[in-house]
């Protein structure tokens, strides 16, 4: 497995890319906000282009993206779920087009990485990821001042790294994730 791996927490308001190495150590992170005005497709295209440019400047072959599952929980906002799905899908398509191996990671798999129950709140995942990365009490720098989203993206990267190690190869990891999605 080539390292480091990237984790992507997709969203229209904020998309964060975090890179970890095998330490695991958070190496790099950056947040991207979509333009606030204009047609959705133009805003998404611009966001995806900027993320792809940034990812191209990093040394990584594997990317883990959290698969959107919106419309659950206490706050059911269908518009947010749809736009997150559009951003995630377009990012995945563009990353594959750039020749990167993309793992489409379920949120439940991220929780399992940290030995949390499948319905654990996001704050528990962030706390576990901070502990695992040794970032308890540390401020995380990001271009958009979105510390929680950086931790989410790092947790997604750690999950991708764990799935690849569990499966043995990136190809086997991709197949494992697809089977989990059908289960």
* Cα separation values, 101 from 16, 79, 143, 171, 173, Å: 18, 29, 25, 8, 10
**Residue 179 pLDDT:** 83
Report yes or no: 91 and 17 within 8 Å, Cβ to Cβ.
no
Phi/psi of residue 23, each to 5°? Answer: -50, -50
For the ranges 32-46, 94-108, 117-131, 138-152, the lowest mean pLDDT is seen at 138-152
Instruction: For residue range 49-106, list pLDDT tens digits in order.
Output: 999 999 988 888 899 999 887 655 555 577 778 888 899 999 999 999 999 999 989 8
**Residue 183 pLDDT:** 47
| Residue of higher predicted confidence among 61 and 2 | 61
Instruction: For residue range 152-169, list pLDDT tens digits in order.
Output: 899 999 999 888 888 888
**Residue 11 pLDDT:** 86
Give the chain's mean pLDDT. Answer: 83
Give the mean pLDDT of 13-39. 82
Give the mean pLDDT of 121-143. 74
Domains and CATH numbers, the chain: 5-182 (3.30.420.10)
Residue 141, pLDDT above cutoff 70: no
């Amino acid at each position: 497995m080539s390292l480091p791996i990237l984790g992507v927490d997709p969203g229209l308001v904020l998309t964060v890319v975090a890179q970890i190495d095998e330490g695991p150590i958070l190496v790099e992170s950056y947040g991207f906000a979509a333009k606030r005005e204009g047609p959705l497709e133009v805003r998404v295209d611009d966001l995806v282009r900027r993320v792809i440019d940034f990812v191209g400047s990093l040394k990584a072959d594997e990317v883990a993206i959290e698969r959107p599952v919106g419309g659950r929980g206490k706050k059911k906002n269908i518009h947010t779920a749809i736009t997150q799905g559009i951003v995630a899908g377009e990012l995945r398509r563009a990353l594959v087009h750039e020749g990167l191996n993309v793992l489409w990671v379920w949120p439940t798999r991220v929780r399992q990485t940290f030995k949390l129950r499948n319905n654990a709140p996001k704050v528990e995942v962030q706390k576990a990821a901070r502990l695992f990365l040794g970032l308890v009490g540390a401020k995380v720098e990001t271009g958009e001042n979105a510390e929680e989203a950086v931790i989410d993206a790092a947790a997604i990267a750690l999950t991708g790294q764990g799935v690849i190690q569990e499966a043995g190869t990136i190809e086997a990891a991709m197949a494992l994730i697809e089977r989990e999605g059908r289960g």
